[in-house]
Amino acid sequence: MWVNKYKPKNLNEYVGQEKSVETFLKWIKNWKQGKSLLFHGPPGTGKTSLIETFAKENNYEFIEMNASDFRNKKQIEEVLGQSMKQASLFGRKKIFLIDEIDGLAGRQDMGGTGAVIKIIKESRFPVILTCNNPYDQKLRALKECCQLVEFKKFSVFDIEKRLKQIAEKEDIKIDKGILRQFAKRGEGDLRASIIDLQSLSHGKKEIAQNDLDILGYREKEQSIFDALMMIFKTKSALAAKLAINNVDKDPEEIFWWIENNIANEYEHPEEIAKAYDALSKADLFRQRIKSRQNWKFLAYMIDLMTAGVSTAKNEMYRKFTRYQYPSNMIVLGGSKFERKEEKEKLLELSQQLHCSTRKVRKEFLPFLNLFRYTN
């Protein structure tokens, strides 16, 4: 991925955010135990990249953790607490980054926020937090031990400058006017712009004006129909994966949308078979996520149900396809109230019988139904 290949190697290569960089450098120079920085701003504005670049340039041991990976207070204390108290094996300084701290605060709340505050106060090393919205009420207690640092969207000029550098290094020809449009479409998200550039330049050495039409303007909440169109129409695996990034639906629901529309889009039997084969493998990972609660499988599920289905076709279909609502979700939607009522009754029985609702459904319900019909 070019976003990794062209990460800045030092702060001189770091693009934009001059005020944030200045604040961070001043803070790290005078760091005192018990205080943290809270980087906030939209995705793709260089929050993580700044810490990583600083650590690389100054020979710090950089430890990055995502708050959403921790389920409760115990996990946080076991993983974060121990590593923040221990010195580096090689005597190097450490710097910690806890990403997406608002994801942790969103849990209701298993002591997670309190555990992080305690760790910040006891840590022997600097701790940086990141979030998108620092004014969320759930972060109120956390902000008391943090200094807020805002990361604004990148300017069109900054994005254009960085994309030009990358295009030259990759020997990609792109007109200055097209490059400016490209930078505008990023809407201040440098990471997304680099990913888009790599996606469009796949297999070619020149980007033309009509190539930009594939991207469209980035939207915060993309329509599921637009996402399906990208998955089924594009030949780029990367573009297919990115298609669902901004869709306001969970991956499982998107899975059923794709499943229900493969035969509507693809015409050749071998393409349909190949697409369903990729989807069946995605379904295996979907079931493993449910049975094992191992969310690392989600990445494989998404890859197979988007890129796998997209690359199943031989050529891109240019026809108009009317995508249909998943039939199984229509059935589930129609029986929503009946299922809710059944769930409430099962819960009531489980409390009376002192067992799980699953056991009530499997072992007791058949006999209860038998009594009801015989009487």
- When comparing pLDDT for 199 and 323, which is higher? 323
Q: What is the DSSP letter of 138?
A: G
Copy the structure tokens of residue 152: 């604004």
84-109 pLDDT, tens digit per residue, is 666 665 667 888 888 878 766 444 44
In this structure, which topology does domain 154-218 adopt according to CATH? Helicase, Ruva Protein; domain 3 (1.10.8)
Half-sphere exposure (Cβ direction) of 168: Cα atoms closer than 13 Å: 7
Is pLDDT above 90 for 249? no
The answer on pLDDT for 70 being more than 80 is no
The answer to whether 183 and 160 are in contact (CB under 8 A) is yes
Residue 182 in this model has a pLDDT that exceeds 80: no
Report the alpha-carbon distance of residue 359 to residue 351 in Å, rounded.
12
From the CB of residue 206, how many other CB atoms can be counted at a distance below 10 Å?
Answer: 12
What's the rounded mean pLDDT across residues 198-224?
Answer: 65
- pLDDT score, position 74: 67
Identity of the residue numbered 222: Q
Mean of the pLDDT values across residues 141-165?
86
Interatomic CA distance for residues 92 and 286, integer angstroms: 41
- Whole-angstrom distance, CA of residue 53 vs CA of residue 8: 6
Q: Dump pLDDT digits (tens) for 284-331.
A: 998 888 887 777 888 899 999 999 999 999 887 777 777 887 876 655
d(CA 180, CA 170): 18
Q: Is 16 left (phi over 0), alpha (psi -120 to 50) or beta?
A: left
User: Is the pLDDT reported for residue 218 higher than 50?
Assistant: no
DSSP track, 174-229: E-HHHHHHHHHHTTT-HHHHHHHHHHHTTT-SEE-GGGGGGT----SSB-HHHHHH
Per-residue confidence (pLDDT) for residue 2, from 0 to 100: 80
What's the mean per-residue pLDDT of the chain?
79
The token pair at 180 is 């400016």
- Inform me whether the pLDDT recorded for 56 exceeds 60: yes
94: tokens are 């450490």
Condensed to tens digits (0 to 9), the pLDDT of residues 255-290 reads 999 999 999 889 899 999 999 999 999 999 988 888
- pLDDT at res. 81: 61
What is the dihedral sign for C-alpha 130, 135, 137, 140? positive
Q: Report the pLDDT value the prediction gives residue 303, as an integer from 0 to 100.
A: 92
pTM score above 0.75: no
> Long-range contacts made by residues 4-13, C-beta under 8 angstroms, separation at least 24?
6/162, 6/165, 6/166, 6/169, 6/194, 7/49, 7/52, 7/53, 8/49, 8/53, 9/53, 9/56, 9/57, 10/53, 10/56, 10/57, 11/53, 11/54, 11/57, 13/53
Residue 61 pLDDT exceeds 90? no
At 253, which amino acid appears?
Answer: E
pLDDT-based confidence at residue 168 (cuts at 50, 70, 90): confident
By DSSP bridging, strand 146-150 and strand 127-131 are unpaired
- Quickly state the pLDDT bin for 77 (edges 50, 70, 90): low
pLDDT > 90: what percent of the chain?
13
The residue that leads in pLDDT, 73 or 239, is 239
Q: Which two tokens stand for residue 215?
A: 């991207």
Q: Give residue 136's identity as a one-letter amino acid code.
A: D
Residue 142 has pLDDT above 50, yes or no: yes
pLDDT of residue 328: 66
**Domain 2-150, what fold?**
Rossmann fold (3.40.50)
Question: In this prediction, what percent of the chain has a pLDDT beyond 70?
Answer: 79
Do 136 and 103 touch, CB atoms closer than 8 A? Answer: no
Query: What does DSSP assign to residue 16?
Result: S
What band does 44 get if pLDDT is binned at 50, 70 and 90? confident
Residues in CB range of 196: below 8 A, 6 or more apart? 182, 185, 186, 215, 242
Give the pLDDT confidence score for residue 220 in this predicted structure. 40
Predicted local distance difference test score (pLDDT) of residue 255: 92
Find which of 25-39, 170-184, 226-240, 273-287 is predicted with most confidence, using mean pLDDT: 273-287
- Higher per-residue confidence, 19 vs 316: 19
Q: What pLDDT is recorded for position 326? A: 81
Mean pLDDT of 46-70: 82
- Which residue bears the tokens 């400058």? 161
The predicted structure's pLDDT at residue 86: 63
* Residue among 73, 43, 55 at smallest CA distance from 128: 55
Q: How many CB atoms lie within 10 A of CB 139?
A: 22
What residues does each domain of the chain span?
Answer: 2-150, 154-218, 222-334, 336-374
